[in-house]
Amino acid sequence: MKVSVDEDKCCGAGSCVLAAPDVFDQRDEDGVVVLLDPEPAEHLHAAVREAADVCPAAAILLGDRA
C-alpha cells in the first residue's frame, strides 16, 4: 500500500491521527496532516484505510505498491 496526502485539502480534523497514529501526525502550527510512513507495514493497512474513510476532507489517497 502506498499512502499520500493532499495538504491543501486537509482541514486539520485529526481523525487520521486517531485512527492510525503510526502513519499520520499533525503540524503543531496549523493541524495539517503530516505523513509519517508513505508505505506502512501490512499490519497497519486496516487502520490506514479507516483513516482515509473517516477523513472529512478526503485528503488521504491510497494506492497499490508500484
Structural domains of the chain ordered from first start: 2-63 (3.30.70.20)
Report the candidate in 4, 55, 17, 11 with the shortest Cα–Cα distance to residue 32.
11
Q: In this predicted structure, what is the pLDDT of residue 33?
A: 98
User: Residues 9, 58: contact at Cβ < 8 Å?
Assistant: yes
Average pLDDT, the chain: 96
Mean pLDDT, residues 44-66: 93
Q: Say if residues 16 and 60 touch (Cβ distance below 8 Å).
A: yes
Q: φ and ψ at 30, to 5 degrees?
A: -140, 0
pLDDT of residue 66: 43
* Overall average pLDDT of the 6-22 stretch: 97
